[in-house]
Amino acid sequence: MAKLPVLSGRELIKILKKVGFEVVRQKGSHVSLQKEQFRTVVPLHSELAKGTLIAILHQCGISREEFDKIK
């Protein structure tokens, strides 16, 4: 399993849009995305913490292996 990359919030949103997530709304520096029953909030930080990225992937139903293939 490869190490998780350091991504910004905007980069992660682009990746999630590739797999079908849509931006539902934005409030301040947080963007809400949704795809069917999956919902998540991505902060627009310049670098997302490793734990934050893992939590967002878990909320989206995406495994780390699938994420490596997507990006």
**Residue 30 pLDDT:** 98
As a whole number of angstroms, the distance between CA 20 and CA 5 comes to 21
Per-position pLDDT tens, the chain of length 71 = 678 899 999 999 999 999 999 999 999 999 999 999 999 999 999 999 999 999 999 999 999 999 999 87
The predicted-structure confidence for 19-38, as pLDDT tens digits, reads as follows 999 999 999 999 999 999 99
**Residue 70 pLDDT:** 87
As a whole number of angstroms, the distance between CA 65 and CA 44 comes to 24
